[in-house]
Amino acid sequence: MTRSAVAWTRRGRSSASGASGSSKSGLPALRSCLAGGALPDFPPSVVAAVKALACELPHEHGLPLSRLSTSEIRREVLQRGLVASIGETTLWRWLSDDAIRPWYHRSWIFPRDPHFAEKAGLILDLYEGRWRNRRLSPADCIISADEKTSIQARKRRHRTLAPAPAQAARVEHEYKRLGAWAYLAAWDVRRAKIYGRCERKPTIAAFERLVAAVMADEPYRSAPRVFWIFDNCSIHRGQACADRLRKRWPNIIPIHTPIHASWLNQVEIYFSIVQRKVLTPNDFDSLAELEDRLLRFQEHYESVARPFEWKFTRADLAELLGRLNAHDVMRQAA
């Protein structure tokens, strides 16, 4: 946190910059050090205070800002009297040492389900091949299902130009909307098979058509247990959904993810692949072309697909929830 002491530093009352305020005889030596390229020293307390400032939310201290830059941190450090003078490069170096970047942010949803760990743990156990502390049989199936809604078919005002040497593909910015599909998909976690269909709207009936398409096929039709993992969207929410599915397909075991935990659902990984490989850039002449591309991609992807290598375990979940809880406690104490 600190460099070796410069020659002029002596015991005594420190100034805001960390230099001794009790002796004038050190100034020539300071000038000599600076002329020789040496940087002035700052005590660890100043470095720690600057890092603490960078880890605070600006509006909590009356600043009309949502995030801090190095120049704004420097201005606040000087106004608080932490130092008499300091450069932005020095501040950046201190923050970089601990990977503190207050000018960045990421979207986040904090767990609010009181039974989050319990519900998430069941899903993580399935991904490791266990259910209620017992190993799954090879005949058991795990299906991860969800829907990707409002996929628009956008016809560009000018045709897309293919890439050429030293030239990226060029896609017209303006487009005409031709309608949208809801893409419902079911991913077999253990066998890397994908089932999907395009529907005008995501409804209960549309979801049950997807389930029917899967359950009519082998090995799901005759499997002893087919675990279906899905979130709490209105078309497959709660006990009513579970009862409907079990009444029609007795070998189904419905499992809901905790609220706002779709990241536990492996089909979301497949949707991210669809977004990159099929929908970016979005340029289709019709809704029919969009549907055809989505359904043909399923076949294409299945030909090369392997089960996703899921590495997040119950132990990782416990660590994550522990860190979030500790952070909340620390913020409340502050």
pLDDT recorded at residue 12:
40
Alpha-carbon distance of 37 to 25, in angstroms, equals: 20
- Spell out the alpha helix ranges (H) of the chain: 27-35, 44-54, 70-79, 88-97, 116-127, 204-215, 238-248, 267-277, 287-302, 314-333
Check if CATH label 3.30.420.10 holds for domain 116-161+174-315.
yes
Tokens of 232: 């709490």
Report the phi/psi class of residue 260: left, alpha or beta, with left for phi > 0 and alpha for psi in -120 to 50: left
State the average pLDDT over residues 305-330.
89
pTM across the whole model:
0.78
Q: How many C-beta neighbours within 10 Å does residue 36 have?
A: 7
pLDDT for residue 34 is more than 90: no
pLDDT for residue 138 is more than 50: yes
State the average pLDDT over residues 131-147.
97
First to last CA, the chain: 24
Alpha-carbon distance of 315 to 128, in angstroms, equals: 12
Model confidence pLDDT, tens digit, residues 94-103: 999 999 999 9
pLDDT for residue 106 is more than 70: yes
pLDDT for residue 36 is more than 60: no
- Cβ proximity of 86 and 74 under 8 Å: yes
What is the pLDDT of the chain when averaged over all its residues? 88
- Cβ proximity of 266 and 231 under 8 Å: no
Residue ranges covered by each domain of the chain: 42-97, 116-161+174-315
- Cβ proximity of 144 and 138 under 8 Å: no
Of the pLDDT bands very low, low, confident and very high (cuts 50, 70, 90), residue 9 is very low
Of the pLDDT bands very low, low, confident and very high (cuts 50, 70, 90), residue 17 is very low
Alpha-carbon distance of 270 to 148, in angstroms, equals: 11
pLDDT recorded at residue 107:
87
pLDDT recorded at residue 24:
45
pLDDT for residue 328 is more than 90: no
Adjacent-strand bridge partners of 197? 184
Model confidence pLDDT, tens digit, residues 146-197: 999 999 999 999 999 999 999 999 999 999 999 999 999 999 999 999 999 9
Q: Residue 244 carries which side chain, given as an amino acid letter? A: R
Kindly state the percentage of the chain with pLDDT values over 90. Answer: 77
pLDDT recorded at residue 96:
95
- Cβ proximity of 160 and 170 under 8 Å: yes
Alpha-carbon distance of 294 to 151, in angstroms, equals: 10
Model confidence pLDDT, tens digit, residues 251-277: 999 999 999 898 999 999 999 999 999
